[in-house]
Amino acid sequence: MPTTPPAMTDTYAVIGHPIEHSRSPDIHALFAAQTGQDMHYGRRSAPVDGFAASIQAFFAAGGAGLNVTLPFKQEAFERADTLSERAQRASAVNTLMARGDEIHGDNTDGAGLVADLVGRLGTDLAGARVLILGAGGAVRGVVPNLFAAGVARITIANRTRAKSQSVAESCLRMGSIAACGLDEAPFDADLVINAISAGLAGEMPALDDRVLTRARAVYDMIYADTATPFLRWARDRGVAGEDGFGMLVEQAAESFALWRGIRPDTRAVITALRGC
């Protein structure tokens, strides 16, 4: 049965479609216990055509903040009353918070990805050539942080080339960035990042093995209890990688800090939930 938050407890949630798989409630429960915060965090499933009504109802009922996941990050950008600088750069929002009568939008995806890659995994991004597979809202959120971390070039490859081109064009001022179709992906990337959500359904698009020719590692922004199709594909071709659970925890910590004014220990939470 769903739990009812105690009276006067600040209410937060993750909103998406689908949402049942999300580990965000587990993560934020550990953050709250670790930092002594009085809050309740749950899941909210929104109809694909009902995101605006869902967030309005949540905040009208006194909700304090929302994490936004697939497929609503770009719509959240459009619906927020005010936006942080990094949300404006990304043209996507994954964190919403009540500010008086307004809803403020931010984006913590990029900070979460770089924190996991550099802080936990020790990835050297300085001068790296990065290939990103996919062109959704999460990709828009991570490109600025990757450039800020010293990446030399980013190529965005997507099944629909026009979509990857749209993301690349919005980021032209940030650094060297190019767009292509999946079948045109370059073979010289040092790091290959998968952001194609089909991995949630256990699927993966056909890729040319040569995209891993120079890859030192791969990273899947999708996470699962077992190795994702993308990670299995790379592993079978001799390239090791990690899934996006660490990114999930790190971006959640960034959201938590925005909401509560205190930053939790992410390593302890990753260890508690993943044992590593």
Residue list for the binding site: 22-24, 69, 85, 94, 109, 134-138, 158-163, 221, 223, 244, 251
CA distance 191 to 211: 10
Contact 65, 77 (CB under 8 A): no
> Residue 222: what residue type?
I
Distance between alpha carbon 207 and the CA centroid of its chain, in Å? Answer: 22
What Cα–Cα distance (Å) separates residue 54 from each residue in 46, 51, 244, 251, 270?
6, 5, 27, 22, 30
In sequence order, which residues have a C-beta less than 8 Å from that of residue 132 and are 6 or more positions away?
Answer: 139, 142, 143, 154, 155, 156, 157, 193, 195
Residue 20 burial (10 A CB sphere; 0-12, 13-18, 19+)? exposed
> Which residues does the annotation mark as catalytic?
73
Residue with tokens 């995994």: 121
Count CA atoms closer than 13 A to 264's CA, side-chain side.
27
Extract the tokens encoding 129: 């050539």
Binding-site positions for NADP(+) read 85, 134-138, 158-163, 221, 244
245-260 and 266-274 helices, crossing angle to 10°? 140
Binding-site positions for shikimate read 22-24, 69, 94, 109, 223, 251
Question: Among candidates 119, 113, 184, 182, which has minimal Cα distance to 145?
Answer: 113
Residue with tokens 């739990």: 3
Largest CA distance in the chain: 57
